[in-house]
Structure 1
């Protein structure tokens, strides 16, 4: 799937994206309920998840992921937990969604956040 902010940040071509998109892991849901009060809980969980996925993914799937990504609905959330966990905010989606075929912005705009798992992620993703 394409997303302009992420693709521009990585700097890959469409053929490179097609070959290496499996090395970008999407965090589809992350929610800490409002009544849970624990200082730094969100950033601690995100940091631990990043460490665990870097270790566990190769065992389960046979390759190491290089980049984590997530999409935060900006009308409802600010991405504070991702910012606190040192994720990078790359920009916004267009609201078309991954399954759009009619080129219409029908979905909420989301901010795109990424977290590199390897400092050389671009070199691998762009070859």
Structure 2
């Protein structure tokens, strides 16, 4: 699901939401699901895969405002679009580039850091960056 945020008809930000990672230790621990529960309900965890405010836009508190509004919107639109309700939202913030301040200001909860393994890296060959969940 993709969103274009506009002000006065002009795009100011872009967001996308989609399927979550198969397994994330921090999320699994926070939720507390058994492996069977996780498999049954994982589709209800929605990931904020992309979020950008266009570089020439300057507006205090805009990022947290957009994130909070998007979180409310997802709970309404997701069941209509996909036929089931979203249970949780998550995102992964690349630590070396961002601090995740906007997510904190929008009341998202920091759960910890990834191991840097990556979802498709069964042999630990390439090290993706460490991200905050």
| Superposed displacement of residue 78, structure 1 | 0.2
Q: Which residues of structure 2 form unaligned runs of 5+?
A: 1-21
Is residue 47 of structure 1 aligned with residue 47 of structure 2?
Answer: no
| Superposed displacement of residue 104, structure 1 | 5.0
| Superposed displacement of residue 82, structure 1 | 0.2
Q: Which whole-Å deviations, capped at 9, do the CAs of 1:68-104 have from their partners, x for residues lacking one?
A: 0000000110001101101000000000011111145
Query: Does the residue aligned with 2:51 lie in a helix, a strand or coil?
Result: coil
Is residue 82 of structure 1 aligned with residue 109 of structure 2?
Answer: no
Equivalent residues in 2 for 1:1-127, closer than 5 Å = 1-103=22-124, 106-112=127-133
CA RMSD between the two structures:
1.2
Distance change (3 Å), C-alpha of 1:103 and 1:71: same
Q: Which whole-Å deviations, capped at 9, do the CAs of 1:10-32 have from their partners, x for residues lacking one?
A: 01122211111100000001112
| Larger strand share, 1 or 2 | 2
| Larger helix share, 1 or 2 | 1
The separation in 1 between residues aligned to 2:111 and 2:53, in whole angstroms, is: 23
Query: Scaled by the length of structure 2, what TM-score is found?
Result: 0.80
Query: Does the residue aligned with 1:59 lie in a helix, a strand or coil?
Result: helix
Query: Does the residue aligned with 1:29 lie in a helix, a strand or coil?
Result: strand
Distance change (3 Å), C-alpha of 1:94 and 1:104: farther
Q: Which runs of 4+ in 1 moved over 4 A?
A: none
Higher relative contact order at CA 8 Å, sep ≥6: structure 1 or structure 2? Answer: 1
